[in-house]
Amino acid sequence: MNILNVVALLSLVTLILTTKPTLQASERMKSGQWEVSVTDNGRTATSTHCDTPKQVKTANGRSEEVRASLEKSASSLHCTLQDFKMESATISYTYACPGRSTATKTSYHGGSYETSVTSKVGAEEHTRQIKGRRLGECP
């Protein structure tokens, strides 16, 4: 799996699993067709995908559910979830993995979002920018 596919997968996981903090479940993310642009090393790749109501269900859950989903995802990658924080329309967290870490910060703006993903391996650090916007209903 190349780095662009990994980044796209991370952005999709972030998009599906993250929400604004709230005590009650509510619709924070709508299902539909999303356009995602990943900028890495000065190059931008754009793709579209459809998120079904089932896929966005977790994103519309309580913060405890979101944290549990992120912990499960981290565990499946042999990582641990650290620095989980939800404030207003922004969520940030770090996946600490053997020999590397990935810090993610996403801010939501209704039908769009912006994500910064910073990966560290040893002393090397690499940051990618991801932008998503809802295009409408799935085809």
Cβ neighbour number for residue 44 with a 10 Å cutoff:
10
DSSP secondary structure letter of residue 25:
-
Query: 12-63, pLDDT tens digit by residue?
Result: 455 444 433 333 444 567 789 999 999 999 999 999 999 898 887 766 667 8
Model confidence at 122: pLDDT above 60:
yes
What values do phi and psi take at 25, rounded to 5?
A: -75, 140
Q: What is the pLDDT of residue 14?
A: 52
Q: What amino acid occupies position 80?
A: T
| Residue range 59-101, pLDDT digits in tens | 666 788 889 999 999 999 999 999 999 887 788 999 999 999 9
